[in-house]
Each structure stands twice: as C-alpha cells, then as structure tokens.
C-alpha cells in the first residue's frame, strides 16, 4: 500500500492545528497582556469578627483605590443620620445635575428629581449606583466635598487611620485611598453598629423606587455558603475589590480583597481565604464588641477679628470723648417779699436759698407779751446759773465754735461778736435779709469724661467648624439588651428568642437576636434596645417566671 497520501494528509492536519494554536495563543496574549500590565496591586485581610483579631493579612496597610467599597462609609453615615433623627428614611432628597451626571453604574436619576432616602440607600448598597451615592452625600452635607470630609473624619474615629475620601461613590480621584485592613474594620462596624440595616447587604434585589435593582455581589452570595454581605467594587485603577462577611456555626469572619483580576478570580481568592481562616479560628471565643458608634456634633467656634487701624499705630491712643451733660439749674426758693428789697432781689435769686420756715402758731390763751416775757426769764436764769457754776470762768474764756458756712440774718444789730465770726467764715449776706440761706456755690466746670479705648475691630462669628466626630455617651441610644438565661441547646435558645419576639410586639421589633455559645451553655439575648425597652421586656418576662436580666453598655 502506498502511505504517501496518508502522510501528506497527516502533515497538513498537524500544520493546520499548529497554526490554529498559534492564533489562539496570540489572541489570548492580546487579551491578557493589557490586564497583566495594568493589574492593580493585590492586598488581603481577614479578621475574626467576634474579636477583631487578624487571621490573614497581605499588604493590608498598602494605600490603594477602594473603588465602590467607598459606599460602605457613605451608607454608614446615612445610617448614622437616620438613627440620630437628622433625616428619615422617607425624607426626599433632591437630585443635582452633578449627581445625575455620574458615570455607571447608576440608578438613572434625573436632575431636579426628588427621591426618598430609602431608595437611594438600596441603590447604593445593592446596585452600587454612583448617582445614588452622590445624592446621599449632597443631601446630608450640602455638597459632595463637605460629605467627603465627614467621611474621612468618621474613618479616623473608627480607627481607619490609612483612609482618606474625596467623594461618596469611589470613582478614582487623587487623594482618595484606603487599605484592606481599614475596609475590614468598616465592614465589622456595619455589622455591629447597625444590625437593623445589615440585612440590606445580603439582598439579591430590591425596589429602588424608579426600578428594581439587582445585587452586584450575587455571585459570591450564591456561591459561598454562609455569605451574607457586604460590598463589591471595581475600577480600572483599583481592580476587582470585595469586602465579604460569612458565618459558620458560631464563627463569623470578615475579609477584604483588593486588586483582583476578575470577578471570578476575586471571588475564588476570597473563598479560599475564608475557608482556610474558618479552620484556624476556635468555635468558642469571648466576643469583644466594638465600642458605641461615634456620632457627629457641630462645634461653633467664635473668633475675635482684630484688624489694625491707623489710630492704633499712632503714638497717641484714640480717645472716645463723652459729652458732659449741662449742669442743673439752681433750685429757686421763694424769698419773703418783706425781707428782700427790690434791688437785692435779683442778686438773692441767683443764690440757693432756704425760705424762712413759718413761725409756729401761738397756743390758745397765750399772748405775744407773755411769750416774750418767758423768753427773757429763761435767758436771765441761764445767765445766773452759768455765773454760779464753778466752770463758768473756764467757759467764759473759751472761744465760741465757728458756725457752719451759712448766714443767719440777725435782728439784733448789736451782736458784734457773732457778726465778726460770720464775716471771717463766709461772705456777708445781703443787707436786710433775714432768711436762712445757703450760699450758692459756683457751678462746677463741665467735666470732660474721656474714655481711652484700644483701636480694635468688631468681633465676628466665623464660619462653623467642620462636623466633629465624638464618642456617644455609653448610656444613651440603643445600646441595651436583655439576657434570657442559659439553655442546653442552641435550638431551644433560638425558639425562646422567636417566641419572646412574637409576644412582645413592637418593643422588640428592631432588636437584634443573638445566641452566645458559652462554656456553661447557650445564652439567648436581645440587643439594640433602649434602656426603657430592655427594662419593660424583663419585667414582662419575669412576671411569667422567665429568667431575664438587663445588660447595659
């Protein structure tokens, strides 16, 4: 038989196969080369969510682009604002042209539109909509730049020391970065600080008001047993990122991967990290919850604004002169017309004079002659008594006291000694005046009260400082819980929690149910309660002979 045709056919087949293989290799190289050349740096971090202790870390503190993992902080601040009462879930937020112009992924919002906050939260958490995240930031802080500053401040308060935000959606921007370690911390805070909203991250789809949105994390949620969140992210600069949370029995892990090369590769790496970490952590461990969630307060700082003026630079200080009020007019008293002549009356009117008081009325059955006689007898008796006294010579030689500076008109012109004293002590009164008068003093010179003041500008109220993140008081808010004793099995503890929740109505509507596996048994509890609700729940249960105790922060 002639094998030449068969050899030729076999050679042609091998040649064709080689050419086809080369072509596919070139296509594959062309596809993979750009991805390989532009691949983002890889980083990963896994922690035990119950204690916050690291299980695996690689480049965990390398500052990289977080992409849409940024929206975790946007949602954290939105939940904080709702819990503080700053806004409500049904509050309508206006959509700006800036938010409407954000690139995909987006919800499709239009400028001028108004939409409830609950729909924006769903779109940002589930679909990772950039326009929804920007609208949340602008609605809460007034502008995206101001909101980014609040995001960074909150990150510092949570211990995310290598994170800085520039926008609310995670699109690539200079100075916008985070780390795998910091994003894992944020994922743990979302789980513990807002358990009432955490189930949002495990939804596969949700109503976002104008449309139904699907989860960008659906593949990992469906493909990894126990996964219940949290957030995906992708940009060319960041690669494929993921912060995930999963539980197995009493164990819960939270991990972050930066710089994946594809969705499938990123999910596979995360699954391998979680699998290996679950095998390394103990089943029973003392849970160490993070502290109370920080809150935001506005601190207003008043600053005195002093601007130099020309008067302050001169040697002489600036003087502020207060004009002296005019001196009061002298009070004029009526002068008896019988004692003041017409010529002396104008001069007497310029003095401050006291009018002579009217003489007392005579008693009935008394005459003027009898009164005068009684006065003469009294004077004579005083003179005789004084002369008979042993001290009379001493008193006679002593000088008379100087009268007060006032003039008393005397009807006795012979009293020369009194007149001499009055002449030395004060100016002589007007001739012929019997009135008791105070000599009119010279009006004081108008005094110029001068107040020297420093040249200074008026104080101003500066713009309010940025929102300050402070720790919330431990005895405020929903940081109380109730513990329902110990049980032998987890099933019994879960059943008790369910029955109690159903019987308590609205009191435990927002409570977080939890069963702790302790060395003594399984301990069911409700968390995220106010102090009043916790006490009310225990009172009701104790009335039914059910063990219960209130636990606080």
Q: Confirm or deny that 106 is annotated as ligand binding.
A: no
Instruction: List own/partner pairs for 310-317 with CB under 8 A and 24 or more apart.
Output: 311/455, 312/454, 312/455, 312/456, 317/452, 317/453, 317/454, 317/455
Sort strands 512-518 and 449-452 into parallel, antiparallel or unpaired. Answer: unpaired
Q: Tokens 């896994």 label which residue?
A: 46
- Concerning whether 71 is annotated as a catalytic residue, the answer is yes
Bridge partners of residue 322, in order along the sequence: 449
Instruction: Please say whether the dihedral angle defined by the alpha carbons of residues 493, 495, 498 and 502, taken in this order, is positive or negative.
Output: negative
DSSP 8-class letter at 8:
H
Taking Cα atoms as reference points, which of 250, 198, 252, 248 lies closest to residue 53?
252
Q: Which of 96, 106, 127, 128 is catalytic?
A: 128
Instruction: Tally the residues of the chain.
Output: 553
* All residues at 6 or more sequence positions from 113 whose CB lies less than 8 Å from its CB, including other chains: 94, 95, 100
- Residue 489 annotated among the catalytic residues of the structure: no
Contact 72, 183 (CB under 8 A): yes
> Token match 């976002």: residue?
208
Residue 126: other Cβ atoms inside 10 A:
25
Identify the CA nearest to 88 among candidates 76, 97, 79, 98: 79
What is d(CA 68, CA 171) in angstroms, rounded to the nearest whole number?
7
Torsion over CA: 257, 259, 263, 267 (sign): negative
Catalytic annotation on 411?
no
Q: How far is CA 103 from the centre of its chain?
A: 34
382-392: burial string, b at 16+ Cβ within 10 Å, e else: eeeeeeeeeee
| DSSP secondary structure string for all residues of 488-508 | SSHHHHHHHHHHHHHHHGGGG
Give every CB contact of residue 205 below 8 A, 6+ residues apart in sequence. Answer: 126, 212, 213, 214, 215
Tokens 């991967």 belong to which residue?
257
Helix spans in 345-477 (H): 345-349, 368-388, 392-397, 416-425
Evaluate whether 187 touches 163 at the Cβ level (below 8 Å): no
| Residues making up the binding site for substrate | 231
- Return the active site residues: 68, 71, 128
| Residues making up the binding site | 231
């Amino acid at each position: 038989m002639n094998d030449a045709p068969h050899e030729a056919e076999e050679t042609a087949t091998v040649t064709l196969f080689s050419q086809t293989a080369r072509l596919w290799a070139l296509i594959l190289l062309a596809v993979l080369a750009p991805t390989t050349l532009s691949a983002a740096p890889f980083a990963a971090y896994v922690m035990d969510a119950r204690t916050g202790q690291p299980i695996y870390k690689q480049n965990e503190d390398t500052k990289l682009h977080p992409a849409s993992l940024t929206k975790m902080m946007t949602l954290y601040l939105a939940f904080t604002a709702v819990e503080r009462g700053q806004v409500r879930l049904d509050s309508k937020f206006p959509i700006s042209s800036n938010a409407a112009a954000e690139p995909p992924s987006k919800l499709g919002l239009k400028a001028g539109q108004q939409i409830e906050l609950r729909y924006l939260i769903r779109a940002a958490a589930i679909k990772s909509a950039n326009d929804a995240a920007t609208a949340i930031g602008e609605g809460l802080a007034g502008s995206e730049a101001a909101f980014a500053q609040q995001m960074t401040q909150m990150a510092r308060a949570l211990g995310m020391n290598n994170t800085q935000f520039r926008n609310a959606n995670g699109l690539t921007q200079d100075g916008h970065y985070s780390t795998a370690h910091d994003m894992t911390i944020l994922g743990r805070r979302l789980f513990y600080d807002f358990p009432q909203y955490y189930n949002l991250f495990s939804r596969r789809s949700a109503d976002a008001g104008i449309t139904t949105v699907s989860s960008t994390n659906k593949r990992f949620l469906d493909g990894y047993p126990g996964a219940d969140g949290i957030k995906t992210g992708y940009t060319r600069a960041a690669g494929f990122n993921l912060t995930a949370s999963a539980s197995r029995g009493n164990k819960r892990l939270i991990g972050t991967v930066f710089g994946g090369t594809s969705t499938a590769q990123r999910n596979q790496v995360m699954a391998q990290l979680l699998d290996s970490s679950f095998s390394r952590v103990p089943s029973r461990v003392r849970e160490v919850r993070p502290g109370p969630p920080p809150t935001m307060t506005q601190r207003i700082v008043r600053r005195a604004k002093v601007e130099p003026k020309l008067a302050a630079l001169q040697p002489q200080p600036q003087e502020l002169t207060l004009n002296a009020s005019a001196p009061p007019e002298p009070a004029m008293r009526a002068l008896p017309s019988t004692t003041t002549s017409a010529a002396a009356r104008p001069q007497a009117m310029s003095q401050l004079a006291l009018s002579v008081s009217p003489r007392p009325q005579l008693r009935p059955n008394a005459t003027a002659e009898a009164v005068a006689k009684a006065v003469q007898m009294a004077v004579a008796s005083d003179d005789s008594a004084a002369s008979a006294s042993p001290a009379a010579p001493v008193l006679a030689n002593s000088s008379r006291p100087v009268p007060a500076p006032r003039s008393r008109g005397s009807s006795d012109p012979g009293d020369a000694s009194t007149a001499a004293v009055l002449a030395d002590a004060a100016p002589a009164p007007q001739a012929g005046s019997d009135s008791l008068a105070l000599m009119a003093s010279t009006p004081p010179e108008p005094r110029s009260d001068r107040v020297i003041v420093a040249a200074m500008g008026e104080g101003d109220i500066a713009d309010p400082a940025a929102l300050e993140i402070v720790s919330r008081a431990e005895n405020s808010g929903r940081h109380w819980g109730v513990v329902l004793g110990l049980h032998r099995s987890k099933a019994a503890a879960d059943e008790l929690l369910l029955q109690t929740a159903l019987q308590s109505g609205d009191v435990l509507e927002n409570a977080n149910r939890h069963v702790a596996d302790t060395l003594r048994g399984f301990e069911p509890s409700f968390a995220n309660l106010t102090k009043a609700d916790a006490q009310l729940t225990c009172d009701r249960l104790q009335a039914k002979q059910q063990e219960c105790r209130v636990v606080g922060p």
